Amino acid sequence: ELFDQRWDVSLWPGPDQRARQLSMWLLASAFVVSGLLAFLLRASALARRRLHRAEAVGRDLGEQILERERAEAALQEREQENRSLLESLSDGFLVLDRRRQVHYLNPEAARRFRRPREDLQGLALDKLLRPDEVRDVMACCERVFERGHSQVTEIYSTTLQGWFELR
């Protein structure tokens, strides 16, 4: 009752019990369908947001990949320039790693050792110089590795028949 009046709402005319059950079933079905529709709309909106986020991440990742490729290309170009410079030096140039093995040497260094570069690459320093020369070189290397910066030392090598500078 509303406002002292009785209101009857029926979806189906007539006092038939089957019609009343059918109307209740239709009403319940409408609620279920509207609930499912609301759920699907919410899921669709969530999927759309995730898609936009994934697209943004994909764009960022693509930009990062391009940036990294450019940096790697620039690094390779610089390495090639440095290698060309070292290869063209008229002085012998030798790089040792922390295990005191030849990491790199230019053609002039190989010529001074009177051996092919391939034979010298990876070779331990004690296989190239006399023990007293190795001791002097190692002492300089230890100071460089301890301090973390270069140090200039000149050593005369009877093996190389001349003076050489360590840095």
How does pLDDT run across 17-65, given as a tens digit for each residue? 777 777 788 888 988 999 999 999 999 999 999 999 999 999 999 999 9
> Mean per-residue pLDDT for 114-133?
89
Percent of the chain with pLDDT over 90: 40
pLDDT at 84: 92
Positive or negative: CA dihedral 133, 134, 136, 141: positive
> Mean per-residue pLDDT for 97-122?
90
Two structure tokens written together for 19: 């019609």
pLDDT band at 112 (very low <50, low <70, confident <90, very high): confident
> Mean per-residue pLDDT for 156-165?
79
pLDDT at 54: 94
> Among residues 152, 163, 153, which one has the least CA distance to residue 112?
163
Q: Is the pLDDT of residue 1 over 70?
A: no
> Among residues 154, 148, 121, 151, which one has the least CA distance to residue 136?
154
pLDDT at 73: 96
pLDDT at 143: 81
21-32 pLDDT, tens digit each: 777 888 889 889
Q: Please indicate whether residue 6 or residue 75 has the higher confidence score (pLDDT).
A: 75
pLDDT at 37: 93
Is this structure's pTM higher than 0.75? no
> Among residues 115, 113, 119, which one has the least CA distance to residue 157?
113
In single-letter form, the type of residue at position 116 comes to P
